[in-house]
Amino acid sequence: MPRSFHLSRFTHQHSVVILIFFAWIALVFSQDNALTLWLNYGFFSAVGVVGAIFANSTGAGGGVVFVPFFAYLSFSPESIVATSFAIQCCGMTAGAITWTRFFRKEHRNDRQWAALPSALILSVPPAICGVVFSQYSEHGPKLLSYILGGPDNLHYVFGIFSIILAIAIIASIPLMKRAVFTEDIEGRDIVLLPVIGFLGGCVTVWLSIGVGELVAVYLIMRGFNVTLSIAVAVILSALTVWSAVPFHVFISHAIVWPVVLFAGMGAIIGGVVAKYLVLAFSNQALKLFFGVWVLLLGVTSLPIF
């Protein structure tokens, strides 16, 4: 009886992913240049898996992996951000669905997770407003040029932001050892979460990372459950990248679609697997490993290397 239960649970949770996988195989082989696509872009599937696992197990966007990798391959700054967004629409969505199901099945009545809906309500709309402001308003691109000095400085600003993010992640590790967690959203959260969401949305448009990381670190430092903080960040990031990608589909046309075809499928797999890594390893170990990784990426992204 228990064995059949686990089998049915596996089938229910993963049948959609299996169907998507076979649909993806059919799509690839329906292309006239299928073999060339496999040879030239097949390795991006592994990149997608790695990026999505990091993103969905820590709350940081997959851009932390995708941006420096695409920069190494000499993609244009606009293509780096646009392609990262498209891949994250696959991986972060898979992760968001996985975390949402986990919340509904395991923690719907858990007081330590009671803040999840409120945190999303307070952060998602402002984050989308930040995306719209940065992409479509007259002042958004001007602000981008003023702060970054233009798209060509993407690698430099990404490096600095990653270093700051890594320091914040590592500094928050001692807070994870607390036995008593904050359970309710308070007045300061009602003020600060929308501000962080809006600014994070702007940063995400420019760097392909930002909003999930900032909100996750804030919630952890406020004393909320770490796994809850990661879940909020993943769901928030998924909704944010979906609001950002139409600009690149219909206006910038900067997405490198063959890369998305392979990395996107890998990201879906990574998004499903990530939750199990979070539950299998300690939060401190995950955050330490990820913080050091982001720090190395940030340092190597600076012009001195």
Query: According to the model, what pLDDT value does residue 152 have?
Result: 66
Q: Scan for tokens 């719907």, then name that residue.
A: 108
Q: What is the mean pLDDT of each run of 10 residues along the chain (305 residues)?
A: 46 70 87 88 91 78 82 89 94 89 90 94 97 90 72 75 81 72 91 95 88 88 86 94 96 95 90 75 72 77 63
Query: According to the model, what pLDDT value does residue 3 have?
Result: 46
φ, ψ dihedrals at 223, nearest 5° = 100, 10
pTM: 0.85
Q: Which pair of structure tokens corresponds to residue 20?
A: 């998507």
Q: Which amino acid is at 88?
A: Q
Query: According to the model, what pLDDT value does residue 7 have?
Result: 47
Q: Scan for tokens 């392609």, then name that residue.
A: 83
Q: d(Cα 125, Cα 243) in Å, to the nearest integer?
A: 10
Instruction: Please give the C-alpha separations between residue 264 and each of 96, 127, 212, 257, 258, in angstroms, as whole numbers.
Output: 15, 23, 19, 10, 10
Q: Which pair of structure tokens corresponds to residue 122?
A: 């307070």
Q: d(Cα 289, Cα 280) in Å, to the nearest integer?
A: 14
Tell me the angle at which helices 187-207 and 63-72 cross, rounded to the nearest 10 degrees: 20
For the chain, the C-alpha Rg in angstroms (whole number) is 19
Residue 237 contacts residue 61 (beta carbons within 8 Å) = yes
Q: Which pair of structure tokens corresponds to residue 262?
A: 């392979």
DSSP 8-class letter at 182:
B
CB atoms within 10 A of CB 61: 34
Q: Which of 83, 140, 118 is nearest to 215 (CA)?
A: 118
